[in-house]
């Protein structure tokens, strides 16, 4: 007895069904042939990682270039937006990875570790920035040599302006040098990346506190000013019986250590506060010999402003956490009151008290920028002790004076400051040149549900090696970098959300041969004389680089469509004259994703998934 394979209405066995959509023959307007009601268009969408990056990096593009083993071009693409990849790869809290669509598949791409790999490789290879040949004739003063000021100086210098930084510190870097401990950011890495700025003509004047901005601007004949002073002042709290010999603010404490000093702190240290600075202070105290380092925080772990990874690393190193506690008295021992949360989650005292022994109390209750010198400037406005600026332009109410970083209302991180510097540089450039040529950023972000995830195989995230907690007794770097193979594998995990990488899926699936392949790096175009609008290409595109639209929709009205040349969705970039033709090609994309041979992990796994 034989068993016959059932045949579907389409004439094929179930495991070989033709999935091609048939045109709707009922859609006619008095013509013999069917009329196409919709048509496919190719898109260049904004990847969620790019959209989530405070520094505005074109992450998807430099990952593509690393995947293709074109590391130097990848570094130049990255540094067109952010001149400090080795720094950011270590200290950024990588919101790009929170946004990464692959997080919903098998784990976000480890973007920060690949960025660090690229930054470290550039230092090892001695890659440098190319100083622009054309000069604008304009002079710009930057006040503050932290991440925002250094970033602005870099971008302004690359635009052809003469830039001078004035900073009150002994060395450039701001809180990157005096606030972030060396076990997180080695000073040789910081010095190497800052050092490139002087190579392109940025002049850094140290040990120079600006006290009168108008006079400083006039004396130096500056055409514009960017104020980017860091939050170096610790907020104080009134605690009864304060003993100055036992109390120190966290900023001063970390500054001392960052300057090479080793303050005497005793056997037991209490850190009062719950932010990232508190975590750094507590971990540094352990490295300085404290047997016990105790964080006192008046809320719960879930309410702590410190990033989870900072708290977790502190706990791994033996830092103790005293939740729902607040210091009420500093006598021979600390008196702490037990707190409890009300129904709104706010802490309130219970009237119950405990004693806590501590040789040193480190106050980490927040920081402020010293904006006193700006109050002398007529027309300058303030909001909650920070400078009030136009959120679109970062200009103050004083023409030609811009502000960013810790000086304005914002999240106080290195990456946000770096992004402010880049934005301010572009706005200053526009203001000086009276030029409005910068294109608007793309807003059309590709979400996870836009992707055809069945197309992708599992490629698990690579993790960076770390020092064992028992070895963290000095300031040696805790987190290590990826090796070459790991970095290339991780770059290959990028899904290329919203941007064609020439997988040939649409080309091979079109039943009408309506797709024209333009050759490597040039993608495809449609022959609408053949296209029936069946949407087969749309259904199989893994990355949502194709959209079906009503037939008569103007191309310019379709978000992400209408790109005259192949390119990658990216935040707005300066005109070609700003960076030069070669760098501009890197910024705008140029060629689409090539298929490189011999790669460890494909950008898209074409193996059918069961």
Give the per-residue pLDDT at 367: 86
Residue 609: pLDDT above 50?
no
Give the per-residue pLDDT at 170: 93
Higher pLDDT, 109 or 579: 109
Average pLDDT in the 119-145 region?
96
Residue 574: pLDDT above 90?
no
Average pLDDT in the 343-366 region?
93
| Same-fold call for 139-232+369-433 versus 246-364 | yes
Higher pLDDT, 574 or 22: 22
Residue 582: pLDDT above 50?
no
Q: 561 pLDDT band (50/70/90 cuts)? A: confident
Beta bridge partners of 525: 516
Give the per-residue pLDDT at 93: 94
Which residue reads 């060629």 in tokens?
A: 591
Give the per-residue pLDDT at 252: 93
Residue 277: pLDDT above 70?
yes
Tell me the pLDDT tens digit for each residue of 187-205: 999 999 999 999 999 999 9
Residue 80: pLDDT above 50?
yes
Give the per-residue pLDDT at 241: 66
Distance of CA 547 to the CA centre of its chain: 28
Residue 579: pLDDT above 70?
no
Residue 238: pLDDT above 80?
no
Of the listed ranges 94-98, 368-372, 494-498, the one predicted with least confidence: 368-372
Of the listed ranges 39-48, 81-90, 329-338, 573-582, the one predicted with least confidence: 573-582
User: Whole-angstrom Cα distance, residue 162 to residue 82?
Assistant: 19
Residue 264, Cβ neighbours under 10 Å: how many? Answer: 8
Average pLDDT in the 125-139 region?
94
Distance of CA 577 to the CA centre of its chain: 26
Give the per-residue pLDDT at 587: 26
> Is-contact 379 202, C-beta < 8 A?
no
CATH of 246-364 given 3.40.309.10, 3.30.60.50, 1.10.10.370, 3.50.50.60: 3.50.50.60
Provide the residue ranges of all domains of the chain, joining segments of one domain with +.
Answer: 23-127+448-610, 139-232+369-433, 246-364
Give the per-residue pLDDT at 245: 66
Give the per-residue pLDDT at 136: 94
Give the chain's mean pLDDT.
86
Average pLDDT in the 380-384 region?
87
Rounded (5°) CA angle 149-154-157:
120
Residue 173: pLDDT above 70?
yes
Give the per-residue pLDDT at 78: 98
b/e per residue, 425-452, with b = 16+ CB within 10 A?
A: bbbbbebbbeeeeeeeebebbbeeebbe
Tell me the pLDDT tens digit for each residue of 478-518: 999 999 999 999 999 999 999 999 999 999 999 999 999 99
Tell me the pLDDT tens digit for each residue of 431-474: 999 876 666 666 789 999 999 988 898 899 999 999 999 999 99
Higher pLDDT, 331 or 48: 48
Q: 52 pLDDT band (50/70/90 cuts)? A: very high
3-state secondary structure of 574: coil
Residue 569: pLDDT above 50?
no
φ/ψ of residue 398, rounded to 5? -95, 115
Average pLDDT in the 421-438 region?
88
- CA distances to 214, 229, 476 from 375, rounded to whole Å, are 11, 14, 42
Give the per-residue pLDDT at 557: 83
The encoded tokens of residue 234 equal: 């610790």
Q: 583 pLDDT band (50/70/90 cuts)? A: very low
Helices 484-492 and 111-125 sit at what angle, rounded to 10 degrees? 140
Average pLDDT in the 572-577 region?
30
Of the listed ranges 169-173, 464-468, 591-595, the one predicted with least confidence: 591-595
Distance of CA 312 to the CA centre of its chain: 21
Give the per-residue pLDDT at 604: 32
Most confident of 284-298, 452-466, 545-559: 284-298
Residue 269: pLDDT above 90?
yes
Give the per-residue pLDDT at 7: 45
Which residue reads 């979400």 in tokens?
A: 447
Residue 2: pLDDT above 80?
no
Of the candidates 364, 69, 332, 417, which has an alpha carbon nearest to the alpha carbon of residue 237?
Answer: 364
Higher pLDDT, 276 or 19: 276
Give the per-residue pLDDT at 21: 55
Q: 32 pLDDT band (50/70/90 cuts)? A: very low
Give the per-residue pLDDT at 483: 97
* CATH hierarchy code of domain 139-232+369-433: 3.50.50.60
Average pLDDT in the 259-279 region?
95
> Is-contact 561 450, C-beta < 8 A?
no
Higher pLDDT, 583 or 66: 66
Q: 70 pLDDT band (50/70/90 cuts)? A: very high
Residue 601: pLDDT above 80?
no
Query: What percentage of the chain has pLDDT greater than the value 70?
Result: 84
The encoded tokens of residue 407 equal: 């000086």
Give the per-residue pLDDT at 469: 94
Higher pLDDT, 398 or 245: 398
Higher pLDDT, 594 or 183: 183
């Amino acid at each position: 007895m034989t068993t016959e394979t059932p045949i579907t209405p389409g004439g094929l066995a179930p495991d070989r069904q033709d999935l091609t959509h048939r045109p709707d023959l009922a859609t006619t307007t008095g013509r013999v042939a069917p009329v196409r009601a919709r048509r496919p268009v190719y898109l260049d969408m904004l990847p969620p990682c790019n959209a989530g990056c405070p520094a505005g990096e074109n992450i998807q593009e430099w990952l593509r270039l690393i995947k293709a083993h074109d590391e130097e071009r990848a570094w130049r693409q990255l540094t067109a937006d952010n001149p400090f990849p080795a720094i950011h790869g270590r200290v950024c809290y990588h919101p790009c990875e929170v946004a990464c669509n692959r997080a919903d598949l098998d784990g976000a791409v480890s973007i920060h570790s690949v960025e660090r790999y690229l930054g470290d490789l550039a230092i090892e290879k001695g890659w440098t920035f190319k100083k622009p040949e054309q000069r604008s004739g304009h002079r710009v003063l930057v006040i503050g040599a932290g991440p925002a000021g250094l970033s602005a100086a870099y971008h302004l210098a690359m635009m052809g302006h003469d830039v001078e930084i004035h900073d009150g510190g002994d060395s450039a870097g701001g809180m990157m040098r005096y606030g972030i401990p060396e076990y997180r950011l080695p000073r040789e890495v910081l010095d190497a990346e800052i050092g490139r700025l002087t190579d392109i003509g940025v002049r850094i004047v140290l040990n120079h506190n600006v006290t009168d901005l108008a006079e400083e601007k006039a004396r130096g004949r500056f055409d514009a000013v960017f104020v980017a002073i860091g939050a170096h002042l610790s907020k104080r709290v009134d605690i009864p019986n304060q003993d100055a010999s036992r109390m120190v603010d966290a900023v001063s404490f970390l500054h001392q250590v960052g300057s090479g000093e080793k303050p005497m702190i005793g056997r037991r240290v209490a850190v009062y506060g719950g932010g990232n600075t508190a975590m750094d202070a507590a971990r540094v105290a352990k490295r300085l010999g404290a047997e016990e380092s105790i964080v006192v925080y008046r809320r719960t772990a879930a309410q702590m402003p410190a990033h989870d990874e900072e708290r977790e690393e502190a706990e791994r190193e033996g830092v103790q956490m005293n939740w729902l506690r607040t210091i009420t008295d500093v006598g021979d021992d600390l008196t702490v009151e037990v707190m409890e949360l009300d129904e709104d989650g706010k802490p309130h005292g219970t009237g119950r008290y405990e004693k806590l022994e501590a040789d040193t109390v480190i106050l980490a209750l927040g920081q402020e920028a010293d904006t006193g010198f700006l109050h002398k400037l007529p027309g300058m406005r303030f909001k909650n002790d920070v400078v009030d600026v136009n959120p679109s332009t970062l200009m103050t109410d004083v023409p030609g004076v811009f502000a960013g970083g810790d000086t304005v209302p914002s999240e106080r991180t290195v990456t946000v400051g770096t992004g402010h510097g880049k934005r301010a540089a572009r706005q200053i450039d526009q203001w000086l040149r009276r030029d409005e040529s910068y294109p608007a950023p793309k807003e059309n972000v590709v979400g996870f549900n836009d992707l055809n995830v069945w197309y992708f195989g599992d490629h698990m995230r690579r993790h960076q090696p770390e020092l064992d907690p028992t070895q963290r007794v000095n300031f040696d770097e805790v987190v290590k970098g990826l090796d070459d193979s790991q970095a290339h594998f991780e770059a290959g995990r990028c899904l290329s959300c919203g941007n064609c990488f020439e997988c040939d899926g649409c080309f091979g699936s079109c039943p009408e041969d309506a797709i024209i392949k333009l050759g490597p790096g040039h993608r495809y175009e449609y022959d609408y004389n053949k296209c029936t609008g069946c949407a087969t290409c749309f259904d199989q595109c893994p990355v949502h680089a194709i959209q079906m639209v009503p037939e008569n929709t103007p191309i310019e009205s379709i978000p992400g469509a209408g790109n005259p040349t192949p390119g990658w969705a990216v935040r707005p970039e300066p005109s070609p004259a700003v960076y030069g033709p070669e760098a501009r090609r890197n910024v705008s994309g140029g060629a689409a994703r090539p298929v490189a041979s011999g790669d460890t992990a494909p950008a898209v796994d074409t193996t059918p998934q069961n």
